[in-house]
Chains A and B, each alone.
Chain A
Amino acid sequence: MEANRILNIIMSGSVGPVVILVSIIIMVWYAGAVYLNSSFLIDRYEKNNIDWSLSELATDSWSMERPVLPSPHQVAKELKKTIWDKKITSKHSLVFHSGVTLSSAMLGFAMGTFLGILLSVGIVYVPALDRTLMPWIIASQTIPILAIAPMIVVVLGSMGIVGLFPKATISTYLCFFPVVVGMVKGLRSPNIILVDLMHSYSASKAQVFWKLRIPASIPFLFASLKIAIALSIVGAIVAELPAGAQGGLGARLLSGSYYGQTNLIWAALITASVISATLVSVIGRMERSINKRMGLQT
């Protein structure tokens, strides 16, 4: 009875299930660390004729200096070291590198959203653009971003454009696509009867646009923005991978893999995903508050 009630309390909130899920992930992670690091350790044990037990193997595999898969507490230590202990201005601070990535991601996101909305309006209002533009837009997304990112950065660099902007264009490249697709659908979403209603008032094109199409597209826009903002982080990191990037989470990933510092790689990866998740939830919050102001259900 009592146990049941406690279980109910734990599972009813949103915290309970999350805690349970996270604990499961951490457990699997620890097990995975043992599994992936074991072959190297067992080799070493056997070379040096050391007797070993499973518990020794576990403790050793969780405290290697360059593990194949670092254990959660090692990554946590690395995160604490690079986020709390280092000064923000330090080249070893993850906060510093996150800032670099975030600023180019946000610039790219803003440009991508703007470009996406602009293109979608063109596609919806100009039939010729609808036919000609859309295939190119889709084709653009079939090119692997990893292949063109260095080119864009190098080409823009040779034109004297360096710094934030070339990196941001990679994010833009990824961001604009979901925005175009969502907004085209959104701008076309008003029921035909509502369009007729506007016509019956002899509404101008601008009035139909601002009073009908734009409000109707808002839910579609937010769905797209959630995808776009996560992509903007991916784009920024990819843009930092080409050699020469001075900072950013991408540069950290790269130097981590150069020197086999898996702790560092994982710390950067986790930071990146926490940033993405936070940004997506910020968009979600904005969406809810705007929905509320527009009186929409849910």
Chain B
Amino acid sequence: MSEPTSSKSSKSTSIDINNLCLTFETQTEPVHALSDINLQINSGDFVSLIGPSGCGKTTLLRVIADLEKPTSGTITVEGKSPHEARLDRSYGYVFQTPALLPWRNIESNIHLPLEMSGYSKHEQKKLSQQYLSLVSLIGFEKKYPWQLSGGMQQRVSIARALSFNPDMLLMDEPFGALDEITRDRLNEELLHLWEKTQKTVVFVTHSIPEAVFLSSKIVVMSARPGKIINVIETNFSKDRTFDIRETPEFLEVSQLVREGLKEGHNDGS
């Protein structure tokens, strides 16, 4: 097997999913949340999952994160089982809700993963400052979660996921609760960060422009049972700005995604 600190060639496979199914056993009837998922994600990819509500995006992300066990099929993460990858703290997870500890102030919420990875107090402070400034929350260090708006809380949780510099970022609609302007700014910041650090990102979104702007690969899903309809690769330059949203290629890709989504909807009903 691969050693944890092997040099990452930009095209090695980061996440490999084959024939993966996941069925939730509920009291009434089984829910087929994921059905026959095949997906290869290269390290350094920025992958967006897009699809109607309830199609299994969160579930797929949770399987990658080893927070959910597949019913059948195989999955490897960084060449390891998801379980081993989790134990190695390979990823930072941004949940659909902020998931901050209410009794810790903002700064010490960000310190949580750093404490567990054994960073010194000094480094914790430095990193929390660095990532709080990335999400424009300097000055809120000593505030408690309930004193912040929902969007601000979500930005804290993004800073927290970034703070310990994991190889992978798993983000579940991280910008869903934000206003357009903040969302655009954080999109650019995230793109920047991705470009700089070459992290593998799996990103769930409901916004077509967001998916197209950020991703190198867009995975379109449909519901009941949750499956992959289409995988669209994009080829925008790495240092793109929002200007590309006006270009014909951008609109073309957007159109492709929209058609995939429509197809999924028709299938479902």
Q: Which A residues are within 8 Å of any B CB, using their own CB?
A: 191, 193-194, 196-197, 199-203, 207, 211-212, 215-216, 218, 294-297
The 13 listed contacts between A and B (C-beta, < 8 Å) are: A193-B97, A196-B67, A196-B99, A197-B93, A199-B66, A199-B86, A200-B91, A201-B113, A202-B87, A216-B103, A218-B103, A295-B144, A296-B102
A194→B86 contact, CB < 8 A: no
A74 to chain B, nearest CB (A): 51
B131 to chain A, nearest CB (A): 16
Distance between Cα atoms of A77 and B86 in the complex (Å) = 72
Task: Select one of A191, A200, A294 contacting B67, CB under 8 A.
Answer: A200
Q: Specify which chain A residues have a CB less than 8 angstroms from the CB of B116 in the assembled complex.
A: 201-203, 207
Q: Specify which chain B residues have a CB less than 8 angstroms from the CB of A193 in the assembled complex.
A: 95, 97, 99
Contact with A along B57-75 (1 / 0, CB 8 A): 0000010011100000000
Q: Indicate if B88 sits at the interface (CB-CB under 8 A).
A: yes
Known: A196-B67, A297-B146. A201 touches B112 (CB 8 A): yes
Q: Specify which chain B residues have a CB less than 8 angstroms from the CB of A191 in the assembled complex.
A: 99
B67→A199 contact, CB < 8 A: yes
For chain B, the count of residues having a C-beta within 8 Å of the partner chain is: 26
Distance between Cα atoms of A212 and B92 in the complex (Å) = 18
Q: Specify which chain A residues have a CB less than 8 angstroms from the CB of B101 in the assembled complex.
A: 194, 211-212, 215
B95→A197 contact, CB < 8 A: yes
Q: Specify which chain B residues have a CB less than 8 angstroms from the CB of A207 in the assembled complex.
A: 116
Distance between Cα atoms of A211 and B146 in the complex (Å) = 19
B93→A294 contact, CB < 8 A: no
Task: Select one of B93, B102, B103, B115 contacting A200, CB under 8 A.
Answer: B93
A196→B95 contact, CB < 8 A: yes
Contact with A along B73-113 (1 / 0, CB 8 A): 00000000000001111011101010101111100000011
Q: Specify which chain A residues have a CB less than 8 angstroms from the CB of B144 in the assembled complex.
A: 295-296
A202→B86 contact, CB < 8 A: yes
Q: Specify which chain A residues have a CB less than 8 angstroms from the CB of B91 in the assembled complex.
A: 200
Q: Specify which chain A residues have a CB less than 8 angstroms from the CB of B97 in the assembled complex.
A: 193
B4 to chain A, nearest CB (A): 13
Q: Specify which chain B residues have a CB less than 8 angstroms from the CB of A196 in the assembled complex.
A: 62, 67, 93, 95, 99
B89→A295 contact, CB < 8 A: no
Q: Specify which chain B residues have a CB less than 8 angstroms from the CB of A211 in the assembled complex.
A: 101, 112, 115
B176 to chain A, nearest CB (A): 15
A214 to chain B, nearest CB (A): 10
Q: Specify which chain A residues have a CB less than 8 angstroms from the CB of B102 in the assembled complex.
A: 295-296
